Amino acid sequence: EPEVTQTPSHQVTQMGQEVILRCVPISNHLYFYWYRQILGQKVEFLVSFYNNEISEKSEIFDDQFSVERPDGSNFTLKIRSTKLEDSAMYFCASRISGRAEAGELFFGEGSRLTVL
Amino acid sequence: GNSVTQMEGPVTLSEEAFLTINCTYTATGYPSLFWYVQYPGEGLQLLLKATKADDKGSNKGFEATYRKETTSFHLEKGSVQVSDSAVYFCALSSNQAGTALIFGKGTTLSVSS
């Protein structure tokens, strides 16, 4: 069964360092998403990506964040200079269609980021 | 803006007990509603969905009915099993192309034998 894969599963970094989280969406999907979940809090939307550009982003997704699809398979989230409050589980997701009722959103297992 | 409110957990039940996890939403227009489940060590998986008022989503013995009059989408199961232990997330989407899902906080369910 096709699945969304994420690496690394856990990353520990020092405050101020750059972090890149990687995702391989399902191959025929067209819409890509990053979400995060701070421990004990809700799953929060960060950004959506379609046709090689950001289609929607939340207030959380400030200038410290960027996304890229560098090749035909990977979808990356970069945090330029990590802060303590960036510690969270980051989920990548993909969907074949942009319309919620038409296509299920498939999630990866998440990448846990710990900023010290 | 759009938002989802779920009952606080954890919910602890014995096997074969009846489960209800409450979810209410605030949204403009006519959103689609979802329940996602996260088993330990895994990503979120779609459990069920409903795309218009009075629709009932169902899967694996779980059900939820889209109630526009009460803006609710409560998750129910008549007889839970130990394998249902997981975190359950209620979510909505506003049905526009590319619009992201808005999630609730999640409710942890623990079922003991």
DSSP code, position B84: G
pLDDT digits (tens, 9 = 90+) for A58-88: 999 999 999 999 887 899 999 999 999 999 9
* pLDDT score, position A41: 82
* pLDDT score, position B29: 79
Residue A95: other Cβ atoms inside 10 A: 23
* pLDDT score, position B23: 97
Q: Which residue of A has its CA nearest to B48?
A: A104
List of chain B residues whose C-beta atoms are within 8 Å of the C-beta of residue A108 = 43
At a CB cut-off of 8 Å and minimum separation 6, what does B65 contact? B50, B54, B55, B56, B57, B73, B74
For residue B66, pLDDT beyond 90: yes
What's the rounded Cα separation, in Å, for the pair B98 and A89?
22
Task: State what percent of residues in chain B have pLDDT above 70.
Answer: 96
The reply to whether A11 touches chain B by the CB within 8 Å rule is: no
For residue B110, pLDDT beyond 80: yes
